[in-house]
Amino acid sequence: MQLIVKNVKKNFEKKEVLKDINFIFEKGKIYGLLGRNGAGKTTFFNCLNSDIKVDSGSFLINENGKERAVTIEDIGYVLSTPTVPEFLTGTEFLKFFLEINEKNIKNKKTIDEYFDFMKIEKEDRDKLLKDYSHGMKNKMQMLVNIIANPNILLLDEPLTSLDVVVAEEMKQMLRQIKKDHIIIFSTHIMELALSLCDEIVLLNNGVLEKVDSNNLSDAELKDKIISALKEENYA
């Protein structure tokens, strides 16, 4: 399976944010989407998720040589600031999500199995979500997106504010599930992208560019990424 980005453009008034983007993302990989603040990473995600309408171009899924338009069911979107119903407990929220999506969930597990997968402790499962830490709320947001089993999982700075232990747990979980998804991980932290992702993609001057990491040391790769991003023109 492939996600094909074809001639995608998006302007805001006179500012070109996405400039005729063409790119192919492959299933089974985690892509690190790097760019300077304001480069358009969230705009790209919002266009792909149909929250923002593109000016031109299209997003396509290629399966077994057949292309079709990306639909909302293809997308799972995890925001940097988790949004969960804080008036519910963790168990209530997960039970409600499973019930309303019952027909679409494959290989359904028990509630406790899902909590175990996300390493949410038993004593926390019946707490109100408003009493969850930021990291735990992020885990719940990630969990429901994984249960929905989207073809494409968009992660917008999801690990930036997490403590070291939770961030490492989330990284291990993403490595575990990547074989079944196209995962695009947006971040401005280069070290995080290099430690997690299979491919590095720069959003630079409004276009996507894959960074060739062949035969490069970590230091050389970092220098190459920094050099490319320094060239970005915000005029």
- Per the structure, the complete domain to which residue 18 belongs is given by 2-81+152-230
Low-confidence ranges of the chain (pLDDT < 50): 234-235
Number of structural domains (the chain) is 1
| Element holding 218 (H helix, E strand) | helix 218-230
Does 104 map to a domain? no
- Helix, strand and coil content of the chain, in percent to the nearest 5, comes to 40, 30, 35
Residue pointed to by tokens 């290989």: 107
- pLDDT for position 27: 96
- pLDDT for position 235: 36
Does 87 map to a domain? no
User: Which residues, listed in sequence order, are joined to residue 102 by a DSSP beta bridge?
Assistant: none
Does 97 map to a domain? no
pLDDT digits (tens, 9 = 90+) for 160-215: 666 777 778 888 888 988 999 999 998 877 887 888 889 999 988 888 988 877 75
Query: Residue 70 in contact with residue 59, Cβ under 8 Å?
Result: yes
Q: What is the pTM of this model?
A: 0.86
Does 142 map to a domain? no
Query: Rounded distance, CA 200 to CA 30, Å?
Result: 9
Long-range contacts of 22-25 (CB under 8 A, 24+ apart): 22/208, 23/201, 23/208, 23/210, 25/152, 25/182, 25/184
- pLDDT for position 152: 95
Does 196 map to a domain? yes
Does 40 map to a domain? yes
Does 43 map to a domain? yes
Task: Give the number of other Cβ atoms within 10 Å of residue 192's Cβ.
Answer: 18
Does 202 map to a domain? yes
- pLDDT for position 1: 94
Looking up residue 183, the CATH number of its domain turns out to be 3.40.50.300
- pLDDT for position 232: 56
Query: Residue 173 in contact with residue 118, Cβ under 8 Å?
Result: yes
